[in-house]
Structure 1
Amino acid sequence: MQRSLFLIGAALTLSSCSMMSRAADPVTITLVGINDFHGNLEPTNFNDVMIPDPADPTKQIRLKAGGIEAIGGYLNQERAKNPNLLFVGAGDIIGASPITSSLLRDEPSTIAMTQLGMKFSSLGNHEFDQGLKELLRMQNGGCDSNDTAKACKFENPYPGAGFKWLGANVVDKTSGQPVFAPYAVAEVGGAKIGFIGAVLKGTPDIVSPDGIKTLNFLDEAESINKYVPELKKLNVDAVIVLIHQGGQTKDGFSQPACGTLTGPIVDIVKKLDPSIRAVISGHSHKGYNCLVDGKVVIQGDYYGHLLQRLDVTVDKANHQLLKISAANVLVDPRTLPADAAMTAILTRARTLTDAVKQTPVGTLASAAISRTNNDAGESALGDVVADSQLAATAAQGAVIAFMNPGGIRADLTASAAGNTATFGDLFTVQPFGNTMVVMDLTGAQIKAVLEQQFSNPQAGSTRILQVSKSFAYSYDSTATQGSHVDAASIKLGGQLVDPAKTYRVTMNAFLAGGGDSFAVFKDGTNVLQLPNLADVDTSVTYLKANPGLAGGAQDRITKTK
């Protein structure tokens, strides 16, 4: 059955029965939230909704959802119904973005969010991808960028974000003071709504360390609770948390009041001040609408596929929250009107980037190469990316390449005729612009790196590195810490890797700096930085050299248990 309703699922409603000291003066505020937008100005495939294929109605395809034109259309439509509407974010508004935004330093995305009326957003880990200085420029404006080839090309000078990024738990190491505003208050319809923002405390483990070396990321719940008394002194009528941390649930995004949410966000919410009744979350790229200890906890998938909608009724006279209705909203471009101002932004961004984006690079054996992992954690595209990086650094003596799976952001899909992949297709897979690094590691250090895959603190999960051809090993996921990988299985070219021997190894600069908690890489020796060789460039060269490129066989990593 086709699903194309704007509002999917019954609304979740919470009510307050508190005694009021004065005659009630209620007003309803509509809060619309977005998380993990990642500069996706255009609609993208939404995995959770299938529709008939226009070319063949007997087949089903994924709905293309989101995009700033449809988001703007929805906001315009709802503002006409209730002018007391606030648009907010839960982090990763920018970073890891497609070429249409990223090639312009994500300035079109911040300008779009500004024109859409965004008031506040929590910081996300990807806001820090280019370092603190560049993030401050994104907030405040100007052209003093660490990438002048991209900055101020969309609008000169770049005006800065018209919304505030909030970060209660991001503080300067020296002063201990927040670097961004920890909270903010919006006055709408005579009501005062307080917002506190936070990002996951594990951010240093998943962004390049050099860019945030002056910052500390503190406990999320403690930092949020610290500012609740300050907001109460301002007589706010409700306190809403915007946080870039999330979880997952077996229930669908349209299931109201789900009670099966798990993950880091649950522990955080359970520690929050009782006066906080709603949490707009992000980071885990899941759609859910749940209750945790009586608090609404909601997330809207990613890339703007879903918007979180909270209709919040407050009593202005007594500064009390009376009722919350919560639901996820499907952003369906087929049924929502396009916002003309957003069309203008998208058109200009395309004009500035299409020539680069549409440059053909080479052909694939099929329409796409998947980044989906097998049971061992290896993907067909991960094999290709690692092989590309090894080939690009063979002249520097490299014999093994490691790639972090989080750096592979999408399947490699050929967008041009004849299964031809363009530069834009490759850039979508690797949008970070990480440069390559080659270093010496001993066999013992390589074993230690492989063990660190199972001690990653993020979400209690493993991070299986993608590895290049001729390198292989097996692991037991049930083994004790430090003993997951069978030392006798670690082989290069069929030969046992010698713990005492030195091997030349390639990875991107993120991993080389200890990203994703792979600290062993920081102990490498004879380190060679390749500042003129970006990760996407290695894929471009490899695809050109291998027409009809197929995905890897996913036979390099073996999971025994």
Structure 2
Amino acid sequence: MTNTGLSRRRIAFTGIAALSALLSACAGPRAAGGMASTPTPPAPVEVAVLAFNDFHGNLEPPRQSVDMPDGHGGTAQIPAGGVAWLASALDSLRARHANSLTVAAGDLISASPLASSLYLDEPSIEVLGRLGLDYTAVGNHEFDRGTKELLRMQTGGCEKFTLREPCQLEHFAGARFRYLAASTLTAGGTPLFPASAIKSFGSGDRQVKVGVIGLTLKGTPTLVNPAGIADLTFADEADTINAEVPKLKAQGADAVVVLIHQGGRASGAPDPNGCAGFDGEILPILRRLSPAVDVVVSGHTHADYICEMPTSDPARPVLLTSAGLYGKELTEITLTIDPAAHRVVTRSAHNLIVQSQPFTSAKGPVALSPLTAQYAPRADIAAYVQRYVDASKAFATRPVGKLSGPAGKGEGAMGGPIGNLIADAQLAATRAAGAQIALMNPFGIRAAIVPAADGTVTFGDIYIAQPFGSALITETLTGAEIKALLEQGFDDNGPEQALAPSTGFAYRIDRQAPVGSRINGIMLGGKPLDPAARYRVTTNSFLALGGDGFSVFKAGRDAVTGPTDIEALEAYFHSAPRLEVPVEERVTGG
């Protein structure tokens, strides 16, 4: 007789505790009454996904706020941003979660303030690694300096691919985090960076795996200099994701998170966690998305939202998030994963405002608020950033002129006073090339220009507003082509954008009219624009190449290349003891 048999005969004398112990050791356990027992399933595992997007090299607080409900029917402005404060916010969230993953949805570099941009965004790449970023999608702005420079951002080194010198303050080691670029294909048809990655949490029967797919928007070629991405193609976003999901599932992924540099925006009163009236170019992607995707971390539109959105299976929606821009917000996504069923059983998300320092905006002081948590800057990150801030001060603090008051952006698609100011500067800089009109894209304006109390404006002030360094192109267009060009800002193909015109040029918008007939009343020098006449028009090189969807610019003739946009703006400040902020409404209607 075996030992197992002997033990079973003695069960009647051992009691319930011994019975449980013996049954757990037996190959064919039975509970009292002879029924087979069910093993206790492993408990669910919680994983936090901490996300942000569109950082754009904002090492210092960007002197911007996040608007949120104040609890009394109004709106509160919360001063936010700065990478040392972002690091502290991340640390506080990680302390609350045993398992966490930190991700981003692209545009972490380029269109950056001086402390990062002067150094080819090397300090931003380094500091994002130090604060614990794991994976990021590639945004369109990652391609601003071309593919070779982007590859250097990942692998490091000091090889020169741009006009600016690399490794000015230290050897550049490359990103500690991993770029993911599933839909960005090389000439050989393979992804420029890995398409996806998997990270495991826990162990034994409580181990779970989170799969991450990263990609940028298909429209990237219209948003960057084509010469820098000549050997790349950008595949359909939904098709790419849906093809990658089964590969991750085959590797044991229990949850699938997509990082995509595409997005939308909610409407109505400001709410970092709202989703009212959501619309945007990401919607058709989501509608075709595999229901096996659990979370989509998005970006590109610089908006904040938390939404549940339908996929290809309406019964299985996807959680969609975005955390604004410049590190002003951080999304805390909590996934509860069943390790036995290999699936997410609950999920939630919340946008946390990274409250940092008070500042003065174009509209007045923005003070710290008790409505949300305040963070202290993380000392090691702050010290690292300060090194680059100090090195850039000679550029940043140099006065360029004086301004009569703050020059802020208009609402939504409008350039406002600063758009008019930049257009006037570009017109003045290219008169020698015959320029009669200058047009500036509002999306290319990154911040208001707020002078000091005595009106002084520094190079740092104008650089923050216009950090791209694009050359100015003056070309010939007919009046009919100019009208067609302006119509492209309101053609329902992408976000609306009213090009900001230089002095003497004006037009009206009628959003209720059919596409192609929404721009009217075009005037130059007080006279209607002649459709058959030829005019010399100046714009930045990005738009001249058809950027932001303004493809009519590519029909321009007799092009002349002038100074860069930032050189033109600085020269304009030098042209008068004190510039007046343009106050006239050159673009009207609605």
Q: Same fold (TM over 0.5)?
A: yes
Partner of 2:558: 526
Q: Distance in 2 between matches of 1:254 and 1:441?
A: 42
Report how far residue 219 of structure 1 moved. 2.0
In the alignment, residue 552 of structure 2 is paired with which amino acid?
V
Partner of 1:359: 398
User: Is the aligned partner of 1:406 residue 2:448?
Assistant: no
The structure-2 alpha-carbon separation of the partners of 1:308 and 1:374, relative to structure 1 and needing over 3 Å to count, comes to closer
Length, aligned pairs only: 521
Instruction: Identify which of 407, 417, 423 aligns with 1:369.
Output: 407
Q: Out of 389-398 and 467-476, give the one that drifted further.
A: 467-476
Q: Distance in 2 between matches of 1:391 and 1:401?
A: 9
Q: 1:473·1:557 contact (CA, 8 Å) conserved in 2? A: yes
Q: Distance in 1 between matches of 2:535 and 2:522?
A: 13
Q: Distance in 2 between matches of 1:374 and 1:106?
A: 28
The structure-2 alpha-carbon separation of the partners of 1:129 and 1:278, relative to structure 1 and needing over 3 Å to count, comes to same
Q: Distance in 1 between matches of 2:386 and 2:47?
A: 33
User: Is the aligned partner of 1:454 residue 2:477?
Assistant: no
Report how far residue 148 of structure 1 moved. 4.7
Partner of 2:286: 269
Helix, strand or coil at the partner of 1:227: helix
Partner of 1:113: 128
Partner of 2:568: 538
In the alignment, residue 432 of structure 2 is paired with which amino acid?
A
Partner of 1:232: 249
Report how far residue 263 of structure 1 moved. 2.1
- The higher radius of gyration belongs to 2
Partner of 1:469: 503
Report how far residue 454 of structure 1 moved. 2.4
Partner of 1:9: none
Trace 1:461-500 onto structure 2 (pairs within 5 A).
461-486=495-520, 489-500=521-532
Partner of 2:432: 395
1:201-251 Cα offsets, whole Å, 9 max, x none, are 222222222222322222211111110010011001211111112222246
Helix, strand or coil at the partner of 1:91: coil
Q: Which has the higher contact order (CA 8 A, sep 6+)?
A: 1
Partner of 1:552: 582
Q: Distance in 1 between matches of 2:163 and 2:477?
A: 35
Q: 1:209·1:515 contact (CA, 8 Å) conserved in 2? A: no
Report how far residue 431 of structure 1 moved. 0.4
The structure-2 alpha-carbon separation of the partners of 1:557 and 1:66, relative to structure 1 and needing over 3 Å to count, comes to closer
Q: 1:137·1:145 contact (CA, 8 Å) conserved in 2? A: no
Q: Tell me the TM-score normalised to structure 2 length.
A: 0.83
In the alignment, residue 321 of structure 1 is paired with which amino acid?
V
In the alignment, residue 526 of structure 1 is paired with which amino acid?
D
Q: 2:145·2:162 contact (CA, 8 Å) conserved in 1? A: no
Q: Out of 141-150 and 239-248, give the one that drifted further.
A: 141-150
Q: Distance in 1 between matches of 2:457 and 2:553?
A: 32
Report how far residue 417 of structure 1 moved. 4.1
Q: Out of 546-555 and 239-248, give the one that drifted further.
A: 546-555
In the alignment, residue 391 of structure 1 is paired with which amino acid?
A
Q: Distance in 2 between matches of 1:22 and 1:283?
A: 45
Trace 1:242-321 onto structure 2 (pairs within 5 A).
242-249=259-266, 250=268, 252-253=270-271, 255=273, 258=275, 260-293=277-310, 294-321=317-344
Partner of 1:330: 353
In the alignment, residue 181 of structure 1 is paired with which amino acid?
P
Q: Distance in 1 between matches of 2:230 and 2:397?
A: 37
Q: Distance in 2 between matches of 1:68 and 1:399?
A: 43
Instruction: Identify which of 164, 168, 183 aligns with 2:182.
Output: 168
Partner of 1:77: 92
1:45-85 Cα offsets, whole Å, 9 max, x none, are 2131599xxxxxxxx98432121111111222333343422
Partner of 1:339: 378
Structure 1 residue runs without a partner (length 5+): 1-19, 52-59
Q: 1:134·1:146 contact (CA, 8 Å) conserved in 2? A: yes
Q: Distance in 1 between matches of 2:305 and 2:496?
A: 23
Trace 1:48-63 onto structure 2 (pairs within 5 A).
48-49=67-68, 62-63=77-78
Report how far residue 110 of structure 1 moved. 0.8
Report how far residue 373 of structure 1 moved. 4.1
Partner of 2:41: 23
Q: 2:337·2:344 contact (CA, 8 Å) conserved in 1? A: yes
Trace 1:27-38 onto structure 2 (pairs within 5 A).
27-38=45-56
Q: Distance in 2 between matches of 1:145 and 1:317?
A: 51
User: Is the aligned partner of 1:504 residue 2:536?
Assistant: yes
Trace 1:102-181 onto structure 2 (pairs within 5 A).
102-156=117-171, 158-172=172-186, 174-181=187-194
The structure-2 alpha-carbon separation of the partners of 1:500 and 1:183, relative to structure 1 and needing over 3 Å to count, comes to same
Q: Distance in 1 between matches of 2:277 and 2:525?
A: 46
Q: Tell me the TM-score normalised to structure 1 length.
A: 0.87
Q: 2:69·2:270 contact (CA, 8 Å) conserved in 1? A: no
1:132-174 Cα offsets, whole Å, 9 max, x none, are 2221221221222333534212422x111111121222223x4
In the alignment, residue 280 of structure 2 is paired with which amino acid?
G
Larger strand proportion of the pair: 1
Report how far residue 378 of structure 1 moved. 4.8
Partner of 1:182: 195
Q: 1:22·1:317 contact (CA, 8 Å) conserved in 2? A: no
Helix, strand or coil at the partner of 2:454: helix
Q: Distance in 2 between matches of 1:124 and 1:181?
A: 15
Report how far residue 31 of structure 1 moved. 1.3
1:297-342 Cα offsets, whole Å, 9 max, x none, are 1111211111011122223344222322321112123732322221
Q: 2:68·2:270 contact (CA, 8 Å) conserved in 1? A: no
The structure-2 alpha-carbon separation of the partners of 1:373 and 1:252, relative to structure 1 and needing over 3 Å to count, comes to closer
Q: 2:68·2:271 contact (CA, 8 Å) conserved in 1? A: no
Helix, strand or coil at the partner of 2:134: strand
The structure-2 alpha-carbon separation of the partners of 1:555 and 1:288, relative to structure 1 and needing over 3 Å to count, comes to closer
Trace 1:78-93 onto structure 2 (pairs within 5 A).
78-93=93-108
Helix, strand or coil at the partner of 2:490: coil
Q: Distance in 2 between matches of 1:116 and 1:185?
A: 20
